[in-house]
Amino acid sequence: MSKINEKLLKNITVLYVEDDDLVREAVSSFCKQYIKNFYCVNNADQGIKLFSKINPDLLIIDLAMPKKNGLEMIKELNTKIPVIFTAKYSDMDLFLEAISFNTYKFNIKPINLNKLLLNIQDSVSSGIFREKLFEKMNLLDIIDENVLISITDNK
C-alpha cells in the first residue's frame, strides 16, 4: 500500500461534485485534513461554474446526479485533467461509459476515504510526472537545436 504524500496533497487543488449531502460532508471533512484547496459543490452546473475559477488539478465526480450526471459534466468541460468517478454498484452502465473518458480511478460507494486519498495522490502524481518528462524532453530538444559542442585536444 502506498504512503500518503502530505506535501504533494497540500499543494493541489481538487474539485469534488457530489449531490448527497452526507457523503459530500464526510469526504470533504476527511480530505480537507490533507488537501488545502479542496472545493465541494452539490451539482454539475455549480461544478462547471467553479471549474474555470479554481482551475483544479483533479476532479472527483459522482456519476449519477439529478439533472446532469458526471459524464455530461465532463463532456461539457472537455478537459484533460484526471477524473475520479464515484458511484453505487447499481450505476454500472454509467461506469462502463465513463471508461472512455480521462478516468483515472473509480470509487464505489460507500467510499473508503483512505483509498480515495491514495487514488487522488496517484492520479495527480502521474500527471505531474508526465508534465515534468514533457518539459525535460522539450529542454533537450532546445539544447540539441541550439548548442554546439566542440571537443579539442591540447596535443
Number of domains in the chain: 1
Residue 108 forms beta bridges with which residues? Answer: 87
pLDDT exceeds cutoff 50 at 140: yes
User: Whose CA is closest to 73, among 38, 98, 106, 105?
Assistant: 98
Domain that holds residue 63: 6-146
The one-letter amino acid at 91: D
Q: Is 1 inside a domain boundary? A: no
**Residue with C-alpha cell 465541494?**
40
The one-letter amino acid at 10: K
Q: Is 139 inside a domain boundary? A: yes
Residue 59 forms beta bridges with which residues? Answer: 15, 83
pLDDT in tens, 20-36: 999 999 999 999 999 99
The one-letter amino acid at 3: K
Tell me the mean pLDDT in the region 44-51.
Answer: 97
Mean pLDDT in the chain? Answer: 84
Q: Is 154 inside a domain boundary? A: no
Listed range (20-29, 101-110, 111-120) with the worst mean pLDDT: 101-110
Helix (H) or strand (E) holding 125: helix 113-146
Full-model pTM: 0.77
Q: Is 153 inside a domain boundary? A: no
Question: In 10 A of CB 77, how many CB atoms?
Answer: 18
What is the model's pLDDT at position 48?
Answer: 97
Assign 76 a pLDDT band (cuts: 50, 70, 90): very high
Q: For position 68, which CATH number holds? A: 3.40.50.2300
Q: Is 152 inside a domain boundary? A: no
